[in-house]
Chain A
Amino acid sequence: MVDTKTITVTVNNEEYTSTVNVRKNLIDYLREDLGLTGSHVGCEHGVCGACTLDMNGQTVRSCLILAVQADGMEITTIEGLPSEGIAEELKKSFAKNNALQCGYCTPGMLSSALEYLNNGGRANKEEIRRHISGNYCRCTGYQAIVEAIYDVAENGVSK
């Protein structure tokens, strides 16, 4: 028996209506059904943070949410991050600081970093480290990532 349900989700300001298998995770729906492969699948049990994205203004683990639970929600993935403001500044800062190597953790890392900055996160390396403690990076050793976020927290959006 395959239980399916029809859902309507807004992803990166675009509305999609799809019929999905109820056991499908949100991340698999985004990647397989919508072709938005920018969000990455890591551990599939909520530990690595690679699939972190924004749902209704909050970061969530998209491997721990069913696609059917996203019915009526607004999702922002890495593909939908604006090319202006704090998101753009963060992307530039990641590039400038070499805060990514293989890039696998980057979509989730940016999502967590954006949440930190949007919620008034300060230029404090200890607090930044604590906030991104749920995102694994196996390349950088975190230092460059912390510095990238720190720079944006300190300097804000350049005019």
Chain B
Amino acid sequence: MKSSAFQYELPEDLSSALKLLNSNDLDILPLAGGQSLMPMMNFRVAQPDILIDLNKIDSLKNITIEGDYVRIGSMVRYCELEQSEIIQKHFPLIIHVIPYIAHSAIRNRGTLGGSVSLADPAAEMPSVLITLNASIELSSSNSTRSVNAEDFFKGIFETVRKSNELVTSINIPVSSMPKKFGFYEVTRRHGDYAIAGAVVTSDNGQDNFNDTRVVLFAVSTKPMRVPKSEAALNGNNFNNQDSINEAIDAVTGNSFERDLHNDETTKETLAKVSLKRAIGGLNG
């Protein structure tokens, strides 16, 4: 299908884009990489009155080190993230996960800020950002605020972003790159939407899990942090099967969401499989 008619705006700087967002009575959507929004428009799930194309705003396209954190502009594309020496040096977890995001042609356009703003429950990056203790910067015409990634995602395609705000950057403390990380996702084909997935990080590279984070994705309405699994692993050896089994068992009892093909029980099972394999694949 083709999208419905809309008015197209192409602001050249951030303040013009934010001004355009201020109208109250029209359905206004910002267009980042368009790799999810364009399909939604072609399906007419999204029918904006005004489309604000952010692709000319150069100030949103930089990756910089600012003191003790790395600032990633929201319009940085996945292909640029992957090539960035700063990201390669500081966040090997991000580099490791990028090839799992769709396909090359999609990553050549898709942006980190777009993925974060859309909050697709099957997306990898929201969960990765939670394990990295990232914060999301939101700007409107009159204010800027920063929200911790864990508090940013609210539900299916739902975040704390207000309609007059734009995600302007994703900020990650350099110190929060974990010493060890594991990632696994279940998909129908490589790069397809995840059916279930898990990210596991530990701050200790030596022998034992420490400051562990366990985040599951594609199994609920938003990224699911599992404190009980984290607690089961913390302080125990990376190879301690009892604590690993305990962490996997602790996935039970969380609230899972079905999708078109997989019911809640399947989701729970696949979440456990993902977690087990993510732990089994710990590197670093």
Contact = CB atoms under 8 A, between A and B. Distances in A.
Interface of A: 1-3, 5, 21-25, 28, 44-46, 49, 52, 58-61, 63-66, 68-69, 112, 115-116, 129-131, 133-135
A89 to B, nearest CB: 20
Contacts of B141: none
Secondary structure type dominating chain A contacts = mixed
Contacts, number: 96
B190 A44 contact: no
A3 B5 contact: yes
Interface stretch (B38-46, B58-66, B123-131): B38-46
Contacts of A59: 104-105, 108
Given A3-B7, A22-B6, A23-B3, A61 B43 contact: no
Given A3-B7, A68-B8, A60 B39 contact: no
B97 interface: no
Contact of A45 (B6, B43, B53, B191): B43
B180 to A, nearest CB: 25
A46 B39 contact: yes
B27 to A, nearest CB: 14
Given A64-B34, A112-B103, 14 more contacts: A2-B5, A28-B2, A45-B42, A46-B38, A49-B105, A60-B108, A63-B38, A63-B42, A64-B35, A69-B34, A112-B104, A115-B104, A133-B103, A135-B103
Contacts of B261: none
B189 interface: yes
Nearest to B193: A47
A61 B104 contact: no
10 contacts: A2-B5, A44-B1, A45-B43, A52-B105, A63-B42, A64-B35, A68-B10, A68-B53, A69-B53, A133-B191
Given A45-B42, A46-B35, A65-B34, A60 B6 contact: no
Contacts of B3: 23
B44 to A, nearest CB: 11
Contact of B39 (A64, A112, A116, A129): A64
A23 B43 contact: no
A61 B104 CA distance: 10
B106 interface: yes
A61 B42 contact: no
A115 B108 CA distance: 11
B79 interface: yes
Contacts of B106: 46, 61, 64, 134
Interface in B1-20: 1-8, 10
